[in-house]
């Protein structure tokens, strides 16, 4: 807590954004690993998880230095674009789910469907490592981990604080892993859509801020402009949720189908 108090505003925003984003990805990866481990065996699931982690470490080691060597404006433009892609995608889904247009993401249902698929898959007799369990666990951790890596590298490289972003990501993954080990079940009670909404707002705000700077424009107050951008994006998103909730009613009262 004392460390957080000593951080500047941008550093604190960096830590919170990376922590929340990585926690969401970790919950999704954990759900897959738990489903495979409980149905196909923990040996193969943990082998797949470990192999994916090593592959991610190699990718990060190869791509991280190259990203940090880009010129500052080019880096901000690239980072801003990547964050906008992630942020708008997450924000769109969170808005649709909050408005009731799209069904909420259900980790319990994902756990159940993954478990059913794992049970239905054939198992080779005498195999030391179950191929199906290994591949599914490897793929799930690798795909979610790639998103974590992109978030850490883009946020950290732009502020030249990759170690700080990596520490926030590790803390998020460790917290989710410990919670998963404690309950041995998907973290269905985690308000995932609320987290994705908050993360979408943060990524979209930072993407807009850094992308604009990378394009050569400047913001009034420099970093302090984020204190205005983030609430504006959040308010606009909430207005969109309310508008979508009222849209079916407006269509019905206008003579649409009941």
Tens digits of residue pLDDT in 210-226:
788 888 888 887 767 87
Mean pLDDT (whole number) for 199-220? 83
Handedness of CA 172, 214, 198, 28 (dihedral sign): negative
Q: Identify the residue with better confidence: 104 or 27.
A: 27
Look at 88-92, 127-131, 164-168 and tell me which has the smallest mean pLDDT. Answer: 127-131
| Residue 234 clears pLDDT 60, i.e. is over it | yes
Q: How many domains does the chain have?
A: 1
pLDDT of residue 249: 45
Which alpha helices (DSSP H) does the chain contain, by range? 2-5, 9-40, 42-68, 72-98, 107-120, 131-158, 162-183, 192-214, 226-253
Mean pLDDT across the chain, nearest whole number?
76
* Cβ pair 103, 97 in contact under 8 A: yes
| Residue 110 clears pLDDT 80, i.e. is over it | no
In a domain, 254, yes or no: no
Q: How far apart are CA 206 and CA 56, in angstroms?
A: 25
What is the percentage of the chain residues whose pLDDT exceeds 90? 5
In a domain, 257, yes or no: no
Look-up of token digits 């807590």: 1
- CA 204 and chain centroid, separation: 13
pLDDT of residue 239: 92
In a domain, 1, yes or no: no
pLDDT of residue 118: 59
Which alpha helices (DSSP H) does 184-225 contain, by range? 192-214
Spell out the residues 6+ positions from residue 80 whose beta carbon is closer than 8 angstroms to its own: 206, 207, 208, 209, 210, 211, 212, 213, 214
Q: Find which of 54-58, 80-84, 178-182, 236-240 is predicted with most confidence, using mean pLDDT.
A: 236-240
The pTM score is 0.61
In a domain, 62, yes or no: yes
What is the per-residue pLDDT across 66-105, written as a single tens digit (0 to 9) for each? Answer: 666 666 677 678 777 877 887 888 889 889 888 888 776 5
pLDDT bucket at 126, cuts 50 / 70 / 90: very low
In a domain, 165, yes or no: yes
pLDDT of residue 184: 61
| Residue 127 clears pLDDT 60, i.e. is over it | no
| Residue 139 clears pLDDT 80, i.e. is over it | yes
In a domain, 133, yes or no: yes
Mean pLDDT (whole number) for 239-251? 74
pLDDT of residue 123: 53
* Cβ pair 19, 170 in contact under 8 A: no
In a domain, 150, yes or no: yes
In a domain, 253, yes or no: no
Which residues span the domain enclosing 230?
9-248
Q: How far apart are CA 198 and CA 187, in angstroms?
A: 18
């Amino acid at each position: 807590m004392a460390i957080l108090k000593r951080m500047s505003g941008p550093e604190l925003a960096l830590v919170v954004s990376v922590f929340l984003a990585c926690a969401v990805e970790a919950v999704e990866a954990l759900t897959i690993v738990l489903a495979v481990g409980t149905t196909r065996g923990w040996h193969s699931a943990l082998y797949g998880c470990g192999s994916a982690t090593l592959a991610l470490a190699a990718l990060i080691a190869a791509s991280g230095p190259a990203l940090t060597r880009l010129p500052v404006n080019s880096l901000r433009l690239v980072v801003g674009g990547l964050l906008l892609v992630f942020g708008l995608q997450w924000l769109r889904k969170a808005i649709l789910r909050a408005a009731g247009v799209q069904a909420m993401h259900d980790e319990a249902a994902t756990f159940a469907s993954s478990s059913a698929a794992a049970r239905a898959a054939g198992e080779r007799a005498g195999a030391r490592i179950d191929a199906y369990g290994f591949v599914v666990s490897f793929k799930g951790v690798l795909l979610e981990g790639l998103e974590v890596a992109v978030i850490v590298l883009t946020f950290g490289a732009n502020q030249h604080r990759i170690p700080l972003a990596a520490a926030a990501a590790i803390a998020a993954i460790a917290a989710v892993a410990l919670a998963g080990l404690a309950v041995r079940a998907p973290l269905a009670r985690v308000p995932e859509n609320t987290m994705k909404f908050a993360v979408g707002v943060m990524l979209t705000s930072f993407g807009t801020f850094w992308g604009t700077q990378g394009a050569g424009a400047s913001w009034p107050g420099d970093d302090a402009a984020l204190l205005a951008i983030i609430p504006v994006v959040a308010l606009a998103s909430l207005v969109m949720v309310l508008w979508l909730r009222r849209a079916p009613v407006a269509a019905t009262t206008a003579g649409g189908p009941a």
